[in-house]
C-alpha cells in the first residue's frame, strides 16, 4: 500500500501532528507514504512529492505550520496559470492530478483541509480517487465534528491577548476593540470573548448595531467601569451592511477581510466620547505551537485516517463526536456549513452574564 498526504488551505496548528500520526501509523502497517507539497502542486509538477518516513516526521508533533506547506490558491479544478505579463488564467487540472497519482503508484490520499479542501476531495472522489478527509480550520466551521484542531490554539492566543488588553484598557479608561479571525463563523470570537470576559462580542451570525454596542459601553461607564473590551470576528457585519474587505487579493484567492474593529472603534469614540483603540490579532492566531488539546485531536485524526483507509471508507472524513472519533461521508459534511447556533448555551450564557452581541 502506498498512500499520500496533502495539506491545503490556510494552515492550522496541529497539521504536523496529523502528518506525524498518519505516517507512523501507516509505516507500522508496512505501507509507504508520500508527502504532496503545497496542496496538490507536488502532483501537478509545480512542486515536489517527497517520501515520508518515521525519520522525516521525528520531532514535528509540537510544531505549528505544516512540513508539506500549503496554499489557498491550489484548487486543481480551478488551477491558476500565471502568465509573464502578470495576468492569470484558471484551468481544470484534475485529470493531470489523477494521472500524477497513478504515475507515482499512489493507492489513496489523505486530504487535510477545511471546507474548500473537502469540496475538492469530494470532486476527486467522484472521479474515482480514493480519498479520506481530515477536517482542519482554526475557525471551527466544518460540520459533523465537534471541533477541528487549531481552534483551541487560536482561542488560547486570543484569550491571552484579551487578558493583556484588559490591564491596559483599564489603566487608561479606554474601549479596546480586538478583531479575530472568523470569516463566516464567530466561534473564535465567542469562545475567546466568553473565556476572556469581554463585554461585547460581535460575530457574523448576529448583525450588530453600533448604538447597541455604545449602550453597553455607556452602561458600564455609568456603573463605574470606565473601560470595555469588545471582541469582533473579522466577518461580523453592521446591520444592513456586508463584511469589511482589506487589501487586494491575488487571483483565485478569497477576498481578504479586515478593518471592522477599526471602524467600530471610531464609531464608538464618535458616539460616546470615550477614547477607543483597535487591533487586528491576525495571523498570530494561526501560528505557534498547538495546544495539548489540538495535538491530541490532530494525532487521533491522523491515526483514524489510516484506519479509515484500511477500512476503505473512500469519501469519508474523520470527525470528533465526543468521546469518539468517527467517520462520516464528506458529502454530508458539505451539505451545511457549521455556524454558531444562536440558541446554544454559550450564547445564552454570554447573554445571561450581560455580554452584548450588539443586537
Using CB under 6 A, which of the segments 29-37, 56-64, 175-183, 338-346 binds ligand F6P? 175-183
CB of 182 to ligand F6P, least distance (A): 5
**315: contact with ligand F6P by CB under 6 A:** no
Using CB under 6 A, which of the segments 18-26, 88-96, 133-141, 348-356 binds ligand F6P? 133-141
**274: contact with ligand F6P by CB under 6 A:** no
**66: contact with ligand F6P by CB under 6 A:** no
Q: Which segments within 56-144 are labelled E, that is strand?
A: 79-82, 88-91, 108-113, 131-135
**217: contact with ligand F6P by CB under 6 A:** no
> Which residue lies nearer to ligand F6P by CB, 3 or 161?
161
**183: contact with ligand F6P by CB under 6 A:** yes
> Which residue lies nearer to ligand F6P by CB, 160 or 307?
160
User: 11, 47, 115, 139: which one is catalytic?
Assistant: 139
**Cβ 49 vs Cβ 34: under 8 Å:** yes
Rounded alpha-carbon distances, angstroms, from residue 323 to 146, 186, 300: 10, 24, 12
CA 287, CA 148: separation in Å to the nearest integer? 15
**Cβ 245 vs Cβ 256: under 8 Å:** yes
> Which residue lies nearer to ligand F6P by CB, 160 or 170?
160
**13: contact with ligand F6P by CB under 6 A:** no
- Helix or strand (DSSP H, E) at 326: strand 324-329
Contacts (CB under 6 A) with ligand F6P, residues 67-126:
72, 114
Contacts (CB under 6 A) with ligand F6P, residues 226-255:
234
**Cβ 334 vs Cβ 146: under 8 Å:** no
**205: contact with ligand F6P by CB under 6 A:** no
> Which residue lies nearer to ligand F6P by CB, 182 or 315?
182
Using CB under 6 A, which of the segments 177-185, 290-298, 327-335, 350-358 binds ligand F6P? 177-185
Inter-helix orientation angle 15-28/292-310, to 10°: 40
CA 231, CA 240: separation in Å to the nearest integer? 20
Q: Which residues pair with 131 in a beta bridge?
A: 109
Phi/psi-derived region of residue 144, left when phi > 0, alpha when psi is between -120 and 50, beta in every other case: left
For residue 136, the SS3 value is: strand
CB of 112 to ligand F6P, least distance (A): 14
For residue 134, the SS3 value is: strand
For residue 298, the SS3 value is: helix
- 96 carries an active-site annotation: no
Counting residues that bind ligand F6P (by CB under 6 A) gives 11
**Active-site residue set:** 139
Contacts to ligand F6P by CB under 6 A: 10, 72, 114, 137-139, 181-183, 234, 257
Amino acid at each position: 500500500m502506498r498512500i499520500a498526504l496533502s495539506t491545503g488551505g490556510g494552515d492550522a496548528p496541529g497539521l504536523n501532528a496529523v502528518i506525524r500520526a498518519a505516517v507512523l501509523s501507516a509505516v507500522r502497517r508496512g505501507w509507504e507514504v508520500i508527502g504532496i507539497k503545497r496542496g496538490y502542486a507536488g502532483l501537478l509538477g509545480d512542486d515536489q512529492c517527497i517520501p515520508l518516513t518515521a525519520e522525516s516526521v521525528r520531532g514535528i508533533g509540537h510544531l505549528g505550520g505544516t512540513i508539506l506547506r500549503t496554499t489557498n490558491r491550489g484548487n486543481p479544478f480551478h488551477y491558476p496559470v500565471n502568465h509573464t505579463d502578470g495576468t492569470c488564467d484558471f484551468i481544470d487540472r484534475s485529470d493531470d492530478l489523477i494521472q500524477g497519482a497513478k504515475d507515482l503508484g499512489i493507492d489513496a490520499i489523505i486530504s487535510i483541509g477545511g471546507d474548500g479542501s473537502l469540496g475538492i476531495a469530494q470532486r476527486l472522489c467522484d472521479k474515482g480517487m480514493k480519498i479520506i478527509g481530515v477536517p482542519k480550520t482554526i475557525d471551527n466551521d466544518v460540520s459533523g465534528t465537534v471541533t477541528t484542531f487549531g481552534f483551541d490554539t487560536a482561542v488560547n492566543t486570543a484569550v491571552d491577548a484579551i487578558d493583556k488588553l484588559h490591564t491596559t484598557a483599564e489603566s487608561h479608561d479606554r474601549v479596546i476593540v480586538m478583531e479575530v479571525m472568523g470569516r463566516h463563523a464567530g466561534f473564535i470570537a465567542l469562545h475567546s470573548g466568553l473565556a476572556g470576559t469581554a463585554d461585547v462580542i460581535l460575530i457574523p451570525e448576529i448583525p450588530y448595531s453600533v448604538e447597541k454596542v455604545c449602550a453597553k459601553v455607556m452602561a458600564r461607564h455609568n456603573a463605574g467601569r470606565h473601560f470595555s473590551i469588545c471582541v469582533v470576528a473579522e466577518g461580523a457585519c453592521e446591520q444592513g451592511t456586508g463584511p469589511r474587505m482589506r487589501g487586494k487579493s491575488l487571483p483565485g484567492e478569497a477576498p481578504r477581510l479586515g478593518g471592522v474593529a477599526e471602524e467600530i472603534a471610531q464609531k464608538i469614540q464618535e458616539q460616546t466620547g470615550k477614547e477607543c483603540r483597535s487591533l487586528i490579532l491576525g495571523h498570530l492566531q494561526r501560528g505557534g505551537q498547538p495546544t495539548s488539546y489540538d495535538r491530541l485531536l490532530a494525532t487521533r485524526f491522523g491515526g483514524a485516517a489510516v484506519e479509515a483507509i484500511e477500512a476503505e471508507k473512500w469519501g469519508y472524513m474523520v470527525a470528533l463526536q465526543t468521546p469518539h472519533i468517527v467517520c462520516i461521508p464528506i458529502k454530508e459534511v458539505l451539505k451545511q456549513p457549521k455556524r454558531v447556533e444562536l440558541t446554544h448555551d454559550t450564547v445564552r450564557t454570554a447573554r445571561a452574564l450581560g455580554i452584548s452581541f450588539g443586537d
